[in-house]
Amino acid sequence: MSSRDLILSRVRTAVAGAPDAPRTRPRAVPAATGGQTAERTVELFAERVADYRAVVHVAAPGEAAGVITAALARRAAERVVVPEGLPKEWAHAVRAHLGGGAVGDDPPLSAADLDAVCGVVTGCAVGIAETGTIVLDTGPGQGRRALTLVPDYHLCLVRAGQIVPGVPEAVAALDPVRPLTWISGPSATSDIELNRVEGVHGPRTLEVVVVR
């Protein structure tokens, strides 16, 4: 008997005669923070992202380019990855500031190349207010997963319309066929005497711009 058949038959024997275990609960428990105004949802998202010690800005649409430029200047960033499909005005702001220092990922950069750049500027798929989480799905303006992993600095742009109240709404909005990365603050460890240290292997600095 193959191990596959063996395991399946062990399972069947184990549960034979066990009472049925139907699912009776209503699905989608709405987020506790649901039912708020859009304005409040955006505020909550910004607060919760900041709780993770990420840098957060909330900008009017016309201000986004200026916020991006100022952020890159503060970092003294020279080479930054700009993935395909980043909304024009944002990509333009990066290019206007860095010129040739704004690099694309086509042909794909090697891991060593990514290790050498100063950072990456991306959009996202969904923002979650309740938990201060950003979800990337490798869609337009986000690039493949390594782009937001290897560089030490991640500047992420979130449109207010992408922010949902809670985890259930995010799960419903996302497509599991795409590889997803849920990001809640910069990478961190508490392994040394439970002291939180930001930045182990992922980007040590996460900066988020919410564009209304």
Partner 1 sequence: MSAAFLGMPAFPRNAARAVGDSQLRFNLRKATRTIRGRRAAVVGELPDWEELRAAGKEIKDHTLRHLDRYLLQMEEAVTRAGGRVHWAADADEANRIVAGLVEATGETGVVKVKSMATQEIGLNEALAARGITAYETDLAELIVQLGDDLPSHILVPAIHRNRSEIREIFREKMGEWGRAAPEDLTDEPRALAEAARLHLRERFLSTKVAVSGANFMIAETGTLVVLESEGNGRMCLTLPDTLISVVGIEKLLPTWQDLEVFLQVLPRSSTGERMNPYTSTWTGASEGQEFHLVLLDNGRTTVLADEVGRQALRCIRCSACLNVCPVYERAGGHAYGSVYPGPIGAILTPQLRGAGPAPSSPPGGGAPAPAIPAPSGRPASATAVPGGRPASAIPAPSGRMPASATAVPGGRMPASATAELDASLPYASSLCGACYEVCPVAIDIPEVLVHLRAKAPHPRAERLAMRAAGWVLDRPVRLARAQRLSGRLRRFVPRRLPGPAAAWTDTRDIPDIPAESFRDWWNRTDGGTR
Q: How many CB atoms lie within 10 A of CB 149?
A: 17
Per CB under 8 A, does 190 bind partner 1?
yes
Instruction: Say if CB 119 and CB 37 are below 8 A apart.
Output: no
- Considering only residues 144 through 183, tell me which ones interact with partner 1, judged by CB under 8 A: 144-146, 149-150, 166-168, 171-172, 176-183
Size of the site for partner 1 (CB under 8 A): 71
User: Which SS3 state, helix, strand or coil, does residue 112 take?
Assistant: helix
Contact mark string toward partner 1, 4..43, x via CB under 8 A = x-xxx-xxxxxx--x-xxxxxx-xxx--x-----------
Per CB under 8 A, does 55 bind partner 1?
no
Q: Is the dihedral of CA 59, 41, 139, 179 positive or negative?
A: positive
- Considering only residues 87 through 106, tell me which ones interact with partner 1, judged by CB under 8 A: none
Instruction: Say if CB 124 and CB 130 are below 8 A apart.
Output: no
Which residue lies nearer to partner 1 by CB, 39 or 51?
A: 51
Which residue lies nearer to partner 1 by CB, 123 or 132?
A: 132
Q: What is the CA radius of gyration of the chain?
A: 21
